[in-house]
Amino acid sequence: MAIKRSLKTLRNWAGLHLFLGITSFLMVVPFFWVFLTSFKRSTEIVTETPRLLPMVWTLENYLELPKVAPFVRFFLNSIIVSGVSTVFIAFGSAACGYVFAKYRFRGKDFLFFLVISTILIPLQTYIVPLYLLTWKLGWINSYQGLIFPLIIMSSGIFFLRQNIMSIPDELIDAARVDGASEWKVFLSIILPLSLSPIAAISIVNWVYTWSLFIWPLIVANSTEMFTMELGLMYFQREYAVDYGGIMAACVITLLPVLVVFLIFRTRIIEGVAFTGMKH
Amino acid sequence: MDGVATQRSGAGSRLRRSQMGFLWGIVMPVIALFIIIRVIPILVVLLMSFTNFNMIRPLVRFLPYQNFLRLFGDPNFVTAFVNSTEFVLIAVPLEILLGLAFAIYLHRKVRFESLYETLYFLPYIVPMVPSAIIWKWIYAPGTYGLANYLLDQLGFPRVGWMSTPQISLLAVIGIHVWKQLGFFVIVFLVGLKNIPTSVREAAVVDGATPWKVTRYVDLPLLKPVILFGVVMATIWAWSAFTEVYIMSQGTDISTGAEIQVMVTRIYAEGFLYFNMGYASAISFVLFIVSLLFVGLQFRLFRVESA
């Protein structure tokens, strides 16, 4: 009886791990495939009998990349866009989160509603007026144009507000009684006590802006302003037969995000579960 | 909103001068940005949909219904609308059901939970452009592509992933589901973890099997989270763009016009032909259908729980 039961438990256990193992492995098969392919010679890539591992490991595909397209420039552009955006988001979300959590004034609820109400509306739907605005400002094909729609984040403010609410009022009041200005309160109490949620929001925003495609596609129209995503897309279109090069370019676009994800895994999962990685 | 009760400023309801400075110095500019970048463009797109606005020809006329009438006779739009509808009807149930299944299994106190969780989540976090390009390579014709090679090895006929329009659309939906699935696994898993263990223990004491616990305890309590998931999945499926755009680009593909969706139409009309009034009309329709779907989902969930 006891043996029978433990056998059954073992079978359930094995079945569960088989199911989870196979399905989760299938999710990441494309990444392994592209990674291995990027080290193959072109004759091994376009073949009727593909092999899993390269017969000869080569870095050729990677070394050729900077010669055919300015990928270093694309990479730096992406860093600038997502970096500047993230600084704005981190600071703005904390400041607004503080005010919405701790201030009391007339119209606060309305302002909060204004910030939150657009959370579900994707950028794609109002992209035409946003483009016209950028055009009127003379920011087409510039860093300002690429960045400015990305410096606000509804869910970031919401997330910070929830966290700052749990900071005791006594702490803030004590500082105020001591004559600290609001700036001092914000910088020396609110910011240090909110580092963890600010980090979560910043990483999530960095990943989001790094991955954004439709906005750069419309605003950047010369190669110098291309981000990684855009550069990769054009490269793929122009050199459609250079599979080795395309795969290597895919790997270097994926790699920064993968590295950041593996380092900050828990923070990112926490942040995404809350924000959905949307602005 | 557990913090609401403690939401109180020691300074009473009047803001002190320093607070006013902080409010107007940082927070109001941020809110102004929200109005300029989000609220106004959203209102403008609704207004523009009733005009013939065009960047090349600056004479603007008010068209009370012509744009919308034109949509019905525009074969490109009709294709895109039908495709988007198919996109939503296939992607949303798949994402929710698979997401629930994986989350429920992961929640059974398995070992390596965080490893599985990481693997499921990985596609969601990485950018769409390289992901879609990789899939395009997997879908490549002949047996160059992994998909056909595996079908060949298993003795199945090869599939024209990128040459048969109906299959191409399903292939794109496949990419979308693969990419978004991780989000739903995580959200449902967090939801399951938030259900108090005492509720579940009570059911087990009463002799419920694991499946009964899932069916009669977890799922009903998870309902608000599932509704949230359904709403997000629907909005994302209606506004899919990058995967479709990538899949319909380049010389290695023979289905472009057949697999277009709503947002690729907005992009083409607005930024390839500069018919911005007409593009806005498509946005307007996109708003309305998303809103209808979401409204319907709220109703369905309420009726079921009543």
- pLDDT in 10s for each residue of chain A, 279 residues: 567 777 777 777 788 888 888 999 999 999 999 999 899 888 787 777 777 788 888 888 898 888 888 999 999 999 999 999 999 999 999 999 999 999 988 899 999 999 998 888 999 999 999 999 999 999 999 999 999 999 999 999 999 999 999 999 999 999 988 888 888 999 999 999 999 999 999 999 999 999 999 999 999 999 999 999 999 998 888 887 788 899 999 999 999 999 999 999 888 888 888 776 666
B253 compared with B258, residue with greater pLDDT = B258
Within this chain, do residues A241 and A150 fall inside the same structural domain, yes or no? Answer: yes
Provide the pLDDT confidence category of residue B1 given band limits of 50, 70 and 90: very low
Render pLDDT for B272-289 as a digit per residue (tens, 0 to 9): 999 999 999 999 999 999
Instruction: Give me the number of domains chain A comprises.
Output: 2
Query: How far does B7 lie from chain A, in Å, by closest CA?
Result: 6
User: pLDDT at position A197, please?
Assistant: 92
Residues of A in contact with B144 (CB under 8 A): 45-48, 50
Q: For A124, which of B18, B143, B266 is closest by C-beta distance? A: B266
- Say if residue A161 is in the same domain as residue A253: yes
Is A92 exposed, middle or buried, given 0-12, 13-18 or 19+ CB atoms closer than 10 A? buried
DSSP string, B39-70: IHHHHHHHHHTTB---SSS----B-SSHHHHH
Q: Do B129 and A272 touch (CB under 8 A)?
A: no
Nearest CA in chain A to B178: A27
What's residue B4's pLDDT? 39
Q: Would you say residue A54 lies in a domain?
A: no
Measured CA to CA, the distance from residue A73 to residue A141 in angstroms comes to 15
CB A222 within 8 A of CB A55: no
Which residue type, as a one-letter code, is found at position B25? G
pTM exceeding 0.80: yes
Q: What is the pLDDT of residue A91?
A: 95
Which residue of A23, A128, A181 is in closest CB contact with B280?
A128
Q: To the nearest 10°, report the CA torsion of B86, B92, B98, B99.
A: 160
Question: Is A11 in the same domain as A146?
Answer: no
Asked if B39 and A261 come within 8 Å (Cβ–Cβ), the reply is: no
Are A133 and A24 contained in the same domain?
A: no
Q: What is the pLDDT of residue B202?
A: 86
d(C-alpha A69, C-alpha A227), whole Å: 12
Cα angle value B290/B293/B299 (rounded, 5°): 140
Examine residue A49 and state whether it is found in any structural domain, yes or no.
no
Query: Using CA atoms, how far apart are residues A135 and B41, in angstroms rounded to an integer?
Result: 13
Instruction: Please check whether residue A51 lies inside any domain of the structure.
Output: no
Q: Which residues of A touch B128 (CB under 8 A)?
A: 211, 213, 229
CATH of the domain at A69: 1.10.3720.10
Q: Are residues A172 and A216 in the same domain?
A: yes
Residues A12 and A102 in one domain: no
Residues, chain B, total? Answer: 306
- The structure tokens listed for B66 are 């012509």
Pair (A76, A29) in one structural domain: no
Same domain, A123 and A246: yes
Q: Does B33 touch chain A (CB under 8 A)?
A: yes
- Burial class of residue A212 in the structure, from the number of CB atoms within 10 Å of its CB (0-12 exposed, 13-18 middle, 19+ buried): buried
- For residue B42, report the phi and psi dihedrals to the nearest 5 degrees: -65, -40
> Is A107 domain-assigned?
yes
Quick one: what percent of chain B has pLDDT higher than 90?
A: 53
Residue B62 phi, psi dihedral angles, 5° rounding: -85, 125
The shortest CB-CB distance from A33 to any of B15, B146, B190 is to B146
Kindly report the average pLDDT of chain A as a whole number: 89
What is the full DSSP assignment across B103-143? HHHHTTT-TTHHHHHHHHHHHHHS-HHHHHHHHHHHT-TTT
Structure tokens at B86: 């198919």
Chain A CB within 8 Å of residue B194 CB? no
For residues B150, B155, B160, B164, the Cα torsion angle rounded to the nearest 10 degrees is -130
Q: Determine the pLDDT at residue B197.
A: 85
Interface of B with A in 220-249 (CB under 8 A): 231-232, 235-236, 239, 241-242, 245-246, 249
Binned at pLDDT 50, 70 and 90, residue B187 comes out as very high
Look up residue A274 and give its DSSP letter: H
Residue A16 lies in domain? 2-37
- Predicted local confidence at residue B7, as pLDDT: 41
- Ordered DSSP codes for A53-70: S-SS---HHHHHHHHHS-
Closest in B10, B120, B127 to A257, CB measured: B127
pLDDT in tens, A55-81: 888 888 898 888 888 999 999 999 999
Q: Give A24's contacts in chain B (Cβ within 8 Å).
A: 115-116, 119-120
Question: Which residue of chain A has the CA closest to B285?
Answer: A125
Neighbours of A126 (CB within 10 A): 27
Examine the domain organization and report whether A116 and A252 are in the same domain. Answer: yes
Q: How many CB atoms lie within 10 A of CB A241?
A: 11
One domain for residues A132 and A176 = yes
Say whether residue B263 is in contact with chain A using an 8 A CB cutoff: yes
pLDDT band per the 50, 70, 90 thresholds, residue B252 = low
Cβ contacts of A21 on chain B, cutoff 8 Å: 116
**Does residue A47 fall inside a structural domain?**
no
Nearest to B45 among A48, A125, A237 (CB): A125
- Interface mutation target, options A27, A247, A261, chain B, most CBs of B under 10 Å: A27
What's the pLDDT tens digit per position in B155-179?
888 888 888 888 999 999 999 999 9
Mind spelling out the 3-state secondary structure of A180-230? Answer: CCHHHHHHHHHHHHCHHHHHHHHHHHHHHHHHCCHHHHHHCCCHHHCCHHH
B60 in contact with chain A, both atoms CB, cutoff 8 A = no
AA identity, residue B208: A
Phi, psi of A240 (to 5 degrees): -55, -25
Give the pLDDT confidence of B2-48 residue by residue, as tens digits: 333 334 444 445 677 888 888 898 899 999 999 999 999 999 999 99
- Calculate ∠ Cα B252-B257-B260, nearest 5°: 105
Please state the rounded mean pLDDT for residues B113-142. 90
Which CATH superfamily is B70-305 part of? MetI-like (1.10.3720.10)
Q: What integer best gives the mean pLDDT of chain B? A: 87
- State pLDDT tens for residues B221-231: 999 999 999 99
Residues A32 and A140 reside in one and the same domain: no
A57 Cβ under 8 Å from any chain B Cβ = no
List residues bridging with B62 in a β-sheet: B51
Interface of B with A in 77-96 (CB under 8 A): none
Q: Is residue A193 part of a domain?
A: yes
